[in-house]
Structure 1
């Protein structure tokens, strides 16, 4: 079960100009669940797993490299014992394998203050149609910024990308369900594709407030005893 969370969160933490605390996966241990969080300041992923009941509280940051090793050496169905020694590191054990890792020092950002809880507008769109449209339109993004624009209306959305250097652009329109009025917002095409790519439900749900506020991206239905929340910072858009 631990692997499920790591599969969603480990990709989110990059290494470009980040504080050391953000170069790993944060394990927030609660008595009734485990919460995994990773961020690179542009995007954030939080994965909660309530199928586990640690019955203790604690927290640590597992380095990205150790996260990848964890995913590689342990099978998804294995029971893994986690032994935490805050001063020295963490040990993961099964009947046949022991893996020890140092921890990232420092304090992880307070993710509970970053994720908006009350974005008032909901955009629902078919996942396959959305991801394929974004992929096609992304061929025309300006490599300098990777901006892709969205003109969102109550029953449809138009996606646009432009490369001013080569004077090319791509535009697609697809059906959508939006509870707000018209909104124009911009995101990084690569970050958006990365987040949408981990979802499995037929539709994707975006919780929006305004073009300057982070978007919250969630599946239409979570898997049993889990909750996945992803946040994506917008890019500046002056017009469509």
Structure 2
């Protein structure tokens, strides 16, 4: 097995796929990348037994073969070489090593037998398939993934819901204290109706793959796993086996008071107020008045912060006060594409709905919290 390829072709692929390999290396083979050469097609695969990422690129091949090499070491060597380096990879006759040559440089890497490489199986059952623009899918992940739980005992919250119904894909995340939702029309069979939960680690890989992609992303959903295809990359991931909460019941439908503010100005007020907020609970008080919204924070040392922001519009009258987690509000502000957000209130004890006037598909919900005196 031997092939030649330019660094500019192989390094970006090796670097990206190496991010998927098992960092803990519970098995030595999980720290390796699989290299499969067939003619002039080189397929590179990395896995941690729950996620698997593959890419096939064109090389100048001489002799088919398969081998696995240490991902971290190969990526580091490629990173250190000159960008225009012409590389030659040669597997030893006994398959125990691969030699990488670049100009006057030569590196010999130990291998592990490919037969021990745990490739993920194809999707079980008849998978449902949907197709959507990669840029739109990236927007939906960005607008929702921040609300995923982290290390929650309610394991089904540690991921992202994909809810497909009537040719519409809804993407939802919640940690029980906040919720984010976005949706888009997709190409799929009209009778497809299902929900699956992607693990947080899988969502992070998808976000990386979708950056700068200008094609459609195809998502095949099976009973136990999902397969995402973006360009030459094919990503497989196990799904979270659990039932996601009924998110529609969490989203308030009745919110008579709505104020519109500049997202950047309001975010600045939140960030400054949080400097003196309780370090554990990160709570702030919002007070709606005539044409303004005040952000107030305090802490056990009785230090205080008060910011006043002008509102662009207010659908109601009188004063309204509510306690909220300032960090959660900041995350919701970042999802705004138009630079303006609308905050919708029912009263001081009900969740706040945050929308973007420039987008009719995205919303966030933040639960109220009690702010100590």
TM-score, with structure 2 as normaliser: 0.60
Higher relative contact order (CA 8 A, sep 6+): 1
Q: Which protein is bigger by CA-based radius of gyration? A: 2
Determine if contact 1:63/1:104 at 8 Å carries over to the other structure.
yes
Alignment map for 1:98-109 (pairs within 5 Å): 98-109=234-245
Deviation at 1:217, TM superposition (A): 0.2
Most deviating of 175-184 and 135-144: 175-184
Counterpart in the other structure of 2:274: 138
In structure 2, C-alpha distance between the alignment counterparts of 1:141 and 1:95, rounded to whole Å: 45
In structure 2, C-alpha distance between the alignment counterparts of 1:238 and 1:11, rounded to whole Å: 26
State yes or no: 1:97 paired with 2:97.
Answer: no
Deviation at 1:43, TM superposition (A): 0.5
In structure 1, C-alpha distance between the alignment counterparts of 2:166 and 2:187, rounded to whole Å: 6
Determine if contact 2:337/2:358 at 8 Å carries over to the other structure.
no
In structure 1, C-alpha distance between the alignment counterparts of 2:290 and 2:357, rounded to whole Å: 18
State yes or no: 1:7 paired with 2:142.
Answer: yes
In structure 2, C-alpha distance between the alignment counterparts of 1:65 and 1:145, rounded to whole Å: 26
Counterpart in the other structure of 2:265: 129
Gaps of 5+ in 2: 1-135
Determine if contact 1:3/1:76 at 8 Å carries over to the other structure.
no
Gaps of 5+ in 1: none
State yes or no: 1:220 paired with 2:357.
Answer: yes
Counterpart in the other structure of 1:32: 167
Counterpart in the other structure of 1:192: 329
Any idea what SS the aligned residue of 2:216 has? coil
Over residues 132-171 of structure 1, what are the superposed CA-to-partner deviations in whole Å (9 max), with x where a residue is unaligned?
1111111110113211111111311221111232x32111
In structure 1, C-alpha distance between the alignment counterparts of 2:372 and 2:230, rounded to whole Å: 54
In structure 1, C-alpha distance between the alignment counterparts of 2:372 and 2:286, rounded to whole Å: 12
Most deviating of 177-186 and 203-212: 177-186
In structure 2, C-alpha distance between the alignment counterparts of 1:67 and 1:220, rounded to whole Å: 26
Determine if contact 1:18/1:40 at 8 Å carries over to the other structure.
no
In structure 2, C-alpha distance between the alignment counterparts of 1:49 and 1:94, rounded to whole Å: 18
TM-score, with structure 1 as normaliser: 0.91
Determine if contact 2:273/2:305 at 8 Å carries over to the other structure.
yes
In structure 1, C-alpha distance between the alignment counterparts of 2:348 and 2:287, rounded to whole Å: 11
- Select which of 316, 332, 343 maps to 1:206: 343
Any idea what SS the aligned residue of 1:204 has? strand
Counterpart in the other structure of 2:368: 234
Counterpart in the other structure of 1:19: 154
Counterpart in the other structure of 1:45: 180
Determine if contact 2:209/2:230 at 8 Å carries over to the other structure.
no
In structure 2, C-alpha distance between the alignment counterparts of 1:213 and 1:13, rounded to whole Å: 21
In structure 1, C-alpha distance between the alignment counterparts of 2:305 and 2:159, rounded to whole Å: 36
Any idea what SS the aligned residue of 2:330 has? helix
